[in-house]
Chains A and B, each alone.
Chain A
């Protein structure tokens, strides 16, 4: 399991929350790479400094994926804040992803 913590870079946390994402990928396969890049970009744009992304490579760690009931990759799970949200795919559709993760201005 590979984790990246960018939470310490800036303290501007929306409503004081730190977002915790778990992104399941398959090595450097096309959709997985896109999902990684898209998630990093969205987080930087929307919740800079207030997020943590745990990346799980299912090729190296399939059991974690199975335990999390992940069927396919890429799968993104918003762990915190609750309720949990699962988003499938390469996260190219920015607005749908933001809406699903409750990161749109209206929903925030």
Chain B
């Protein structure tokens, strides 16, 4: 009888040993793995800690870079608007003045002036668009919610995709940098919808909840596959994720074939509301 029990006992011992080994590995109690010819040092816990530290440092650096970039953008936008905008407006006014001084016999010159005037008008419009793209003045002047509504209207006008904004945070005062980050996330998400989604409808929702501010962007397009979501080459998605994480928030992107895509960003209220004003 004891002979029959032997293989079972051996098996039981082996299973126990295997369980102990797994436990030791899981709880980071293993220093080295011993082979016939090599001993491999295992420093998983240390490696994990190093990786986490590197990731934290990288994230802080990205947040700093984003902040510096926004400041630079604001300066360039102001310079463009003030310097170029003013100079081009003066040029336009000057051309109009010359045009009024011309006699009917100077028709070729009149045509040239009209053409130059049209070019100047076009340049003024371009400079204004570039300045707005760099730093939407409406964001500083009228706040995040109005900027998002303006962005949605503009998006609808450019793409023909119907775009709605839903919010319960119209009265909230947002921290300046946080507002810029949310605006940039929306801008990038809308650009993705325009380029890839093949959607006819998009909804931007900015909701203030007890546990934080929740931004969702949904579309009814062709969806997104998982490989694109996690790919490091999807720079737009990576940028949005980094902006959300820099605010201490979370970023999720879900999509299924033919059923559209939903982007959700959740940010703690303490990180996003302007502490000088309060909610």
Contact = CB atoms under 8 A, between A and B. Distances in A.
19 contacts: A26-B31, A26-B32, A30-B46, A31-B31, A58-B32, A58-B39, A62-B34, A62-B39, A65-B34, A66-B35, A72-B33, A73-B30, A74-B31, A86-B17, A86-B20, A87-B20, A88-B30, A89-B27, A89-B29
Contact of B39 (A59, A74, A92): A59
Given A66-B36, A73-B34, A86-B17, 7 more contacts: A26-B39, A31-B29, A59-B39, A65-B34, A66-B35, A72-B25, A74-B31
B230 interface: no
Contacts of B32: 26, 29, 32, 58-59, 72-73
A25 B39 CA distance: 11
A70 interface: yes
B36 A72 contact: no
A29 B31 CA distance: 6
A59 B20 CA distance: 23
B24 A58 contact: no
Interface string A67-87: 000111110000000000011
Most buried by B among A30, A87, A89: A89
Contacts of A92: 29
B24 A29 contact: no
A66 B39 CA distance: 10
Interface string A10-35: 00000000000000111001111000
Interface secondary structure of A, over-half rule:
mixed
A50 interface: no
Interface string B54-81: 0000000000000000000000000000
Contact of B31 (A30, A62, A66, A71): A30
Interface string B12-44: 000001001101110111111111111101110
Contacts, number: 70
A71 B21 contact: yes
B31 A25 contact: yes
Contacts of A58: 32, 34, 39
Contacts of A89: 20, 23-24, 27, 29-30
B24 to A, nearest CB: 4
A66 B27 contact: no
A92 to B, nearest CB: 8
Interface string A88-106: 1110100000000000000
Nearest to B33: A72
- 6 interchain residue pairs of minimum CB distance: A89-B29, A26-B32, A29-B31, A26-B31, A88-B24, A89-B24
Contacts of B39: 26, 58-59, 62, 65
B34 A88 contact: no
A26 B29 CA distance: 12
A24 B29 CA distance: 13
A16 to B, nearest CB: 28
Interface string A27-53: 001111000000000000000000000
A92 B35 CA distance: 25
A31 B29 CA distance: 6
Contact of A66 (B17, B34, B43, B45): B34
A88 B21 contact: yes
Interface string B232-256: 0000000000000000000000000
Contacts of A86: 17, 20
Nearest to B17: A86
